Amino acid sequence: MIHVEIDPNSGFCFGVVRAIDKAEKYLEQGKTISSLGEMVHNAQEVKRLESLGMHTISCRDIDAAENENVLIRAHGEPPSTYKTLKDKGRNIVDATCPIVLKLQQKVKKTYENHPEAQIVIYGKQGHAEVIGLVGQTRGHAYVLSLPEEVKKLDPAKPVFMFSQTTMPLEGFAEMKTALEAYIKAEVISYDTICRKVAHRVPEISRFAAMHDVCVFVSGKNSSNGRMLFNVAQKSNPNTHFISKAAEIQKDWFTNDISVGICGATSTPHWQMEEAKKTIQAFFI
């Protein structure tokens, strides 16, 4: 009989769980609420929440949005977003992850206390969390994702480096080394990577290697999902990416093998359970 196991360390991170809980409490009370941006980078979970009555809007939709309650998701937002919402009379339901919120405050304080320095955010340009962090510096921070990008900086000016919470630890170390080699002034780096997310890398690697076949469940637009899928596939080349259970193919499996199901920090547990039931149904 085929053996199917769900990775106990996969699924939503604390910040996402907290944000969804806040939205569901409003919906359970019969109140309306709009999420400013996708709650998570997972189309199936967004669809589930919208079926409960939640709306997903963008900053452009704030004027037209009927809902008075607007939720700031776990990624956080720049100060300008809060001002816009307040000016429009919206009730802000702030679900920014506490770890991200603390980082935002640290970036803001550093920027204000060190006007002579260059603020560097090690992260992905355009990522929601990064936009929120850059906003703490009134748009003056540098976003770098590759070591060679340090050449955008002035080598004579000091640097304060922070990281998007979901970036890889190895990449942070490489960026720090590149900055210290290029910048002639002082370089102060703050490792602000969330360990619960960072530890997913070795955990996923070990889990994938333990099984004959690995099925990775994630939204297609999740950067964390793409990164963790690559980790799983490196450990187990027989790893398949799906965004929903209907994409699972029977010919990936044979009887009497071990199958592991894992996912991104934006993958709900119910979706991995659905994948498990789909695989098991092939062999009934």
Contacts of 267 (CB under 8 A, 6+ apart): 10, 11, 12, 42, 217, 218, 219, 222, 225
**Is 170 one of the annotated active-site residues of the chain?**
no
Contact 134, 122 (CB under 8 A): no
Contacts of 146 (CB under 8 A, 6+ apart): none
Query: Which amino acid, 80?
Result: S
What CA–CA distance (Å, rounded) separates 258 from 178?
A: 42
Contact 187, 158 (CB under 8 A): yes
Residue pointed to by tokens 């009134």? 138
Nearest residue to 14 (alpha-carbon basis) of 98, 123, 94: 98
Nearest residue to 160 (alpha-carbon basis) of 115, 207, 211: 115
Pairing status of strand 213-217 against strand 142-144: unpaired
**Catalytic annotation, pick one of 38, 45, 129, 274:** 129
Backbone angles phi, psi at 175, to 5 degrees: -65, -40
Residue 36: strand pairing partners: 57
Ordered DSSP codes for 69-124? EEEE-TT---HHHHHHHHHTTPEEEE---HHHHHHHHHHHHHHHH-TTSEEEEES-
Catalytic center residues: 129
